[in-house]
Amino acid sequence: MSSKRPPAPPPAIDGYRYVSLLGSGGFSDVYLYQQDRPTRKVAVKVLVADLKTEGARRRFESEANLMAQLSTHPFIVTIYEADITADGHSYLAMEYCSRPSLDVRYRRGPLGVDEVLSLGIQVASAVETAHRAGIVHRDIKPANILVTDYNRPALTDFGISGTTDSVDDDAGMSIPWSPPEVFHSSNADGIKVDIWALGATLYTLLAGRSPFVRPGGDNSQRELMNRIATAPLPSLRRADVPESLEQALATAMAKSPASRFRSAHAFALALQRIQAELNLSVTPFEVLEEAHPGDDLPADEGGDATRVRQIVAIDPDGTTRSPALGRPVFPDRNTTRTVPAVGAGTTAALPAGETAPAADDATVMRSWTRTPEEPADPRTGDDAVVPGKKRPLLAAGAISAAVLAAAGAIAILNLPAPEKEAAPPPVSQPPANAIDGLAGNIVPPEDLNGKIDGAQATFSWTNPDERDGDMFIWTPVTALGKGEPERIREDKVTVPVAGNDRTCIEVVVLRANGKSSDPVRGCAD
């Protein structure tokens, strides 16, 4: 926060005891208070401008109510109370975040790519939640992303200043994270403004400075506004930052609002794809889903709080077991079905003592293989255990085994003499380039780089394993998708500069046999 003006004295608030000053800005002061009931530390933000008119009070209360609804989100600061002091100043009592804000952290040094990607998805989910509730933030920047005791980001300051009659004399502090359209229009699309500001915030965390600040150069408000409106987004030039991340940030910060991500959710999806590309754990995108019909019904009226899942059980009185094998045998229901007969290539009808289980029954009997010493399967022949039919199972099993053995011996005697085993065909050697012809084993292009000259960008690359008939396929790419691929023979291509400040292409090597290499992506500077 700025120190251009001295902070106002802390107001007396019933139920709270003043502890210390946390910070001061152009339109508000933030203090640390101790709440009496329940006992806890809270941050109290007091707006400098008073709310003397009834209209101003209504606008503040409406905005505070919406913020309170949003504060259940895990990455939005929790609001405990919103009220007005005796002298007419509005205040918010909210969650106290004791850790340094992202503004303090980036000034100590750039953050890691993995942490910035995770923070970006988490804050984007908070922004998307606000947008779905009809609230735009208007002032996303590192200083407005606090960090809780549990090291999670917490977005704060949801447009409260826009609901008051005061003029923010410290508005210039947000210029580094503001899109060009807000400098000349009061009707800018709030969603696209927030997307730009979120992209600029992530860029700042990676670069250790805001996007258009020039170390050692003229960084006055006028120069910053001019660069934001006309200069291309500088490359981060970090070896660990992939081109896909540079491209996503450039899309979020496109000069034209129409060229940016259509929503904070779309921005988060691009960041999640980059996490997957880098083999990082994908951070969940947390947004409140709409309730579906029946979700609020009690359990006995369709709700699923105590939903009974499907249970498959076996009726102990409905089955009997073979004394010899211990396998269940179903009672007689006058139903037959055909099943493979054990040891034969034909089918036999199930006896009247078995009922075919349903196809999706969890207790369906699986096929089994018996040994010559084992009695015949009771489910496939005369030896089935049928209620009311008495037969000594072991004797019957021995007779069946003897019959099968005799039949097997006769079959063996009648088998023709084995023929001499044919020699395997000679192994032919694969072509010399067979391995190279497999997808993924062709060496991709190298040294892909691009240079911008006016309204055009020229890309060039090298083919490290050139073969006769090689061609290239190049495709324009953005964070929003890919264009139409084109085939060329030269290792160079000139394309129009993209409108999103970042002109990028993918190139693959295409062999004469139709196989191609993995793609390589590059962007023009």
Binding residues, as ranges, are 45
Q: Which residues are catalytic?
A: 138
Residues 6+ apart with CB under 8 A from 76: 70, 126, 129, 130, 154, 155, 156, 158
CA 483/CA 476 separation, integer angstroms: 5
The continuous run of DSSP H or E covering 194 comes out as: helix 190-207
- Taking Cα atoms as reference points, which of 221, 176, 170, 212 lies closest to residue 197? 176
Cis amide bond preceding 38, omega within 30: yes
End-to-end CA separation in angstroms for the chain: 34
The continuous run of DSSP H or E covering 153 comes out as: strand 153-155
Degrees, nearest 5: CA angle 322-341-384:
25
Residues 6+ apart with CB under 8 A from 77: 71, 94, 95, 97, 146, 154, 155, 156
- Taking Cα atoms as reference points, which of 68, 92, 95 lies closest to residue 82? 92
Q: How many CB atoms lie within 10 A of CB 460?
A: 17
CA 444 to chain centre: 29
The first and second tokens of residue 234, run together, are: 């500088």
Q: Which residues are annotated as a binding site for ATP?
A: 45
